[in-house]
């Protein structure tokens, strides 16, 4: 806003209008920047298949069109349906496994394994030293009847516990002991029946792996499509911002008052006080609106009168800021006279008057030795 005021663009209301335009564009740019960051984060994430729509920023969710999210939501729904179907198929396998388990537990030798071992009643003081994870059919049945989160998730978990029942009995009891013999016999019968069900279990496991891989791929493709649409939309909106900025620039140019000869002299004096680095940046400002100007040439001729009013005012604001920062402000630089009332400020330095006179003749020469890049 100070820069706009310094350019004398018109009445206070006009300045306020320009200020509002600048604020609106600034807000739009901030929103676009956040959305650009969202897109960049997606493509920079190595395992972006783990991203979901719920992880996007609020700006992303507000700005991405509904059709862009629809495909992601569709993939999520399809994945949910596949998961529900897989759970149903696994439950069917568990029912088939329950039939096998019932046949084993109904065997006449199954009674020692139906309940937890009565360690204290039988005086088995070293039982827990030998057996790290006790297991019995009563516990297995309870877990099979339990709800999700507590019970078994798949057939292999039940299979492992059934084997553990027999393996524990065989481990704790001598191979000549009746319990050891009974456990070994029932384990063999159980393994035979398990081998009949195993192909179905393996087929289901393979299917789940394939469906999970497909689900992740579909989700990734849907997210990439959404982000591609997002990128295209951002590109269009950025072009629109560029048009708005150009429109605002032209508005400022039209409202800029002409810089007086005295102000041009002061500007020229101020340019000579810049550091080599800042002088190079000032000349770059000139080059922005003057394609034929070569700011990095060995010798540079700067025709002050040939510059547009916008360039002159931009140079003035730039020079004031740089010299204030460097602590080199003086009456010649006019740092404290932003409104530029046109009053003549006399210089006590003969050298400065000579520089001003030279600039009035429209020539500033800068040799390559002033450039920080030399």
Domain ranges of the chain: 1-257, 261-370
Using 50, 70 and 90 to split pLDDT, how confident is the model at 196?
A: very high
Q: What percent of the chain has pLDDT over 90?
A: 28
Minimum mean pLDDT among 43-52, 102-111, 228-237, 301-310: which range? 43-52
Q: What is the distance between the alpha carbons of residues 274 and 284, in angstroms, rounded to a whole number? A: 14
Q: What is the mean pLDDT of residues 291-314?
A: 79
Label residue 135 exposed, middle or buried (CB < 10 Å: 0-12, 13-18, 19+): buried
- In 3D space, the residue among 241, 272, 220 whose CA is nearest the CA of residue 71 turns out to be 220
Q: What is the band of 250 on the pLDDT scale with cuts at 50, 70, 90?
A: confident
**Of 175-184, 283-292, 325-334, where does the model show the most confidence?**
175-184
Least confident of 71-75, 202-206, 239-243: 71-75
Give the CA distances from residue 55 to residues 52, 60, 364, in Å, rounded to whole numbers and listed in that order. Answer: 6, 10, 57
What is the DSSP code string of 66-99? HHHHHHHHHHHHHHHHHHHHHHHHHHHHHHHHHH
Q: How far apart are CA 114 and CA 189, in angstroms?
A: 17
Q: What is the pLDDT of residue 18?
A: 73
Give domain 1-257's CATH superfamily: Bromodomain-like (1.20.920.10)
Residue-wise pLDDT tens digits, 157-166: 999 999 999 9
pLDDT attached to residue 70:
66
């Amino acid at each position: 806003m100070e820069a706009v005021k310094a350019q004398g663009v018109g009445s206070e209301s006009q300045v306020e209008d320009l200020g509002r335009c600048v604020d609106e564009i600034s807000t739009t740019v901030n929103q676009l920047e956040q959305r650009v960051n969202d897109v960049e984060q997606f493509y920079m994430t190595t395992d972006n298949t783990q991203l979901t729509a719920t992880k996007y920023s609020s700006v992303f969710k507000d700005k991405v069109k509904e059709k862009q999210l629809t495909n992601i939501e569709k993939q999520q729904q399809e994945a949910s349906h596949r998961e529900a179907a897989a759970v149903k198929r696994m439950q069917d396998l568990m029912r088939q496994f329950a039939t096998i388990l019932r046949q084993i537990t109904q065997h006449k030798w199954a009674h020692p394994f139906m309940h937890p071992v009565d360690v204290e009643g039988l005086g088995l003081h070293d039982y827990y030293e030998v057996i790290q994870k006790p297991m019995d059919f009563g516990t297995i049945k309870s877990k099979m009847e339990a709800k999700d989160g507590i019970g078994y998730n798949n057939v292999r978990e039940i299979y492992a516990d059934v084997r553990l029942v027999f393996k524990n009995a065989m481990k704790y009891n001598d191979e000549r002991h009746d319990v050891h013999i009974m456990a070994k016999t029932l384990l063999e019968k159980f393994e035979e029946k398990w081998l009949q069900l195993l192909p179905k279990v393996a087929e289901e496991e393979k299917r789940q792996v394939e469906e999970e891989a497909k689900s992740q791929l579909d989700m990734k493709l849907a997210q990439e499509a959404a982000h591609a649409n997002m990128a295209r939309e951002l590109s269009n909106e950025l072009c629109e911002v560029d048009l708005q900025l150009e429109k605002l620039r032209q508005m400022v140019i039209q409202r800029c008052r002409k810089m007086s000869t005295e102000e041009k002299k002061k500007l020229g004096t101020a340019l000579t006080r810049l550091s080599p680095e800042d002088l190079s940046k000032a000349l770059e400002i000139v080059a922005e609106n003057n394609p034929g100007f070569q700011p990095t040439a060995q010798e540079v001729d700067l025709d002050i009168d040939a510059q547009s009013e916008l360039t002159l005012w931009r140079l003035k604001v730039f020079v004031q800021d740089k010299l204030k920062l460097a602590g080199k402000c003086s009456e010649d630089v006019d740092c404290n006279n932003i409104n530029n009332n046109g009053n003549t400020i006399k210089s006590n330095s003969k050298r400065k008057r000579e520089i001003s006179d030279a600039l009035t003749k429209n020539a500033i020469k800068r040799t390559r030795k002033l450039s920080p890049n030399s």
